[in-house]
Chains A and B, each alone.
Chain A
């Protein structure tokens, strides 16, 4: 490597977002980036750029033809390593769906899936989401005790994601374990073997689902992918399984993470919680955006520079790796005054929690809607909840998802409203099938009718 090549890699920082200390030092390190080097080079993980400023991230979003998301798992193109830095050992050999593809291939997937995930498409599901949330709360409401992660925030996004995909709701546990534990279990953990096994079982079931919907079409995201063509040809089964696994990964762990953190914060700020509940008509939307900004469940994405170029005043070479930190940009004082404070009514909240540019989280409307419905039901049915700080378990590292494993809480017990979860899922499965709830919005406009 020439001196000239080393010289362009500055300023230099040591950035290790997978280190357990990063979680505790996040605000301090983020301030360091914003004060001196919103775009810097770090030698960690084979060396990569780190973009932490809002202005820099926007510049990269707009220079999209110069950046690649490609994960070339079979060494058929330029050997790029996709959106994780470093590329993960788990799931090696599978592309992370359309998030690890470039246009026009990526565009074809988005076009196939958007009509299932647009704001109008998701709004049709609200009665369904409410029913699942109620059933979860019913299981705990008489006891006055709940684990907001295990008993609510894990379940509702999981069941809803499977419903949209066209996978039987009763399988949610088969998907739940790998979707969460696969993220928070470090490679050296004694649990790893079990998690890898669970992940394998999930991929197997995704593959089986594809075969099933091909043989017996039923509506949903799996069907949309099974039927899609790019330039007249069906994508490989490996790519389709990767895309479905991406929808699972995106649909499960992130919304859980957002919900748990928001509930924990609201428990610590009871006056704000009561205000949010009282003024929900005007405050729920901005508060949701503020929680997204402040907690940013998916903290960033990697890219590979696809040609020599200059972006945001820096010189890049083809093959350079780049980390786009949505989480750090969300604390950029140039855009967010007093960035480390939660302001439920924050104006001008142009946060990047769902990314920027053509890869904007395709599930953003799912995340917002599921989060809001869960939160409202908690505010209505357990308004005085108090989380137990001793029992709250945060992910050990926040390199992939800034999540929580457990969040136990107590509240004044209340009455059940309906049957428990198992019975509710049976009823909802029947309704899904009868009403074709998983059809795209282009086919079915009507809202789900539960009663």
Chain B
């Protein structure tokens, strides 16, 4: 599974990081999110799917 955060949509709500702290990192400056890696490790897939479902801006895509 691959994951992407749309930087135009992400507004730094930080819910993705709460749900999958190993898969996302937040900018120190404004809290906006980027995936730690494009490819999601298998043991983090469930957490990343939950992050997708928790993002208020619907900024995260998995494919």
Binding site for B on A (CB under 8 A): 58, 61-62, 110, 114-115, 118-121, 285-286, 289, 347-352, 354, 356-358, 360, 364-365, 441-442
In the bound complex, CA of A347 to CA of B52 (Å)? 11
- Residue of B14, B29, B56, B57 near A115 (CB, 8 A) is B29
Q: A114-B30, A115-B29, A441-B28 are in contact. Are A58 and B14 (CB under 8 A)?
A: no
Which of B11, B28, B55, B56 has the most chain A CB within a 10 Å cutoff? B56
Note all chain B residues with C-beta closer than 8 A to A349: 15, 54
Q: A348-B54, A356-B56, A360-B12 are in contact. Are A119 and B31 (CB under 8 A)?
A: yes
B50 touches A348 (CB 8 A): yes
B56 touches A120 (CB 8 A): no
Query: Which B3-23 residues have a C-beta within 8 angstroms of A?
Result: 9, 11-15, 17-18
Note all chain A residues with C-beta closer than 8 A to B14: 119, 364-365
In the bound complex, CA of A365 to CA of B11 (Å)? 12
In the bound complex, CA of A61 to CA of B17 (Å)? 22
In the bound complex, CA of A118 to CA of B27 (Å)? 8
Note all chain A residues with C-beta closer than 8 A to B31: 114, 118-120, 365
User: Is the CB of B26 closer than 8 A to any CB of chain A?
Assistant: yes
A289 touches B15 (CB 8 A): yes
* Chain B residue at minimal CB-CB distance from A284: B18
User: Is the CB of B58 closer than 8 A to any CB of chain A?
Assistant: yes
In the bound complex, CA of A121 to CA of B14 (Å)? 14
- Residue of A58, A114, A115, A350 near B15 (CB, 8 A) is A350
In the bound complex, CA of A354 to CA of B14 (Å)? 11
1/0 contact string of B21-51 vs chain A (CB within 8 Å): 0000011111100000000000000000010
* Chain B residue at minimal CB-CB distance from A110: B30
B26 touches A118 (CB 8 A): yes
Q: A118-B30, A360-B13, A365-B31 are in contact. List 19 more A-B contacts (CB 8 A).
A: A58-B57, A62-B9, A114-B31, A115-B29, A118-B12, A118-B26, A119-B17, A119-B26, A120-B28, A121-B28, A289-B15, A289-B54, A347-B50, A348-B53, A349-B15, A350-B15, A351-B56, A364-B12, A441-B28
- 23 A–B pairs (Cβ distance < 8 Å), ordered by A: A58-B58, A62-B9, A110-B30, A114-B29, A114-B30, A115-B29, A115-B30, A118-B27, A119-B14, A119-B31, A120-B28, A286-B18, A289-B15, A347-B50, A350-B53, A350-B54, A350-B55, A352-B56, A354-B13, A364-B12, A441-B29, A442-B28, A442-B29
The size bracket of the interface on B is 20 to 34
Tell me how far the C-beta of B9 lies from the nearest C-beta in chain A, rounded to whole angstroms. 8
The 6 closest A-B pairs by CB, nearest first: A348-B53, A114-B30, A360-B11, A120-B28, A350-B56, A118-B31
B28 touches A356 (CB 8 A): no
In the bound complex, CA of A313 to CA of B27 (Å)? 35
Note all chain B residues with C-beta closer than 8 A to A354: 13, 56
* Chain A residue at minimal CB-CB distance from B28: A120
Which of B14, B17, B30 has the most chain A CB within a 10 Å cutoff? B30
In the bound complex, CA of A229 to CA of B50 (Å)? 41
Tell me how far the C-beta of A153 lies from the nearest C-beta in chain B, rounded to whole angstroms. 22
Note all chain B residues with C-beta closer than 8 A to A364: 12-14
Note all chain A residues with C-beta closer than 8 A to B12: 118, 360, 364
Note all chain B residues with C-beta closer than 8 A to A441: 28-29
Note all chain B residues with C-beta closer than 8 A to A286: 18
A357 touches B58 (CB 8 A): no
In the bound complex, CA of A165 to CA of B17 (Å)? 27
* Chain A residue at minimal CB-CB distance from B27: A118
Tell me how far the C-beta of A143 lies from the nearest C-beta in chain B, rounded to whole angstroms. 36
In the bound complex, CA of A354 to CA of B13 (Å)? 8
Tell me how far the C-beta of B19 lies from the nearest C-beta in chain A, rounded to whole angstroms. 8
Note all chain A residues with C-beta closer than 8 A to B9: 62
* Chain A residue at minimal CB-CB distance from B58: A58
In the bound complex, CA of A303 to CA of B17 (Å)? 30
- Residue of A61, A120, A121, A442 near B57 (CB, 8 A) is A61
In the bound complex, CA of A119 to CA of B13 (Å)? 10
Tell me how far the C-beta of B32 lies from the nearest C-beta in chain A, rounded to whole angstroms. 9
Tell me how far the C-beta of A58 lies from the nearest C-beta in chain B, rounded to whole angstroms. 7
In the bound complex, CA of A351 to CA of B56 (Å)? 6
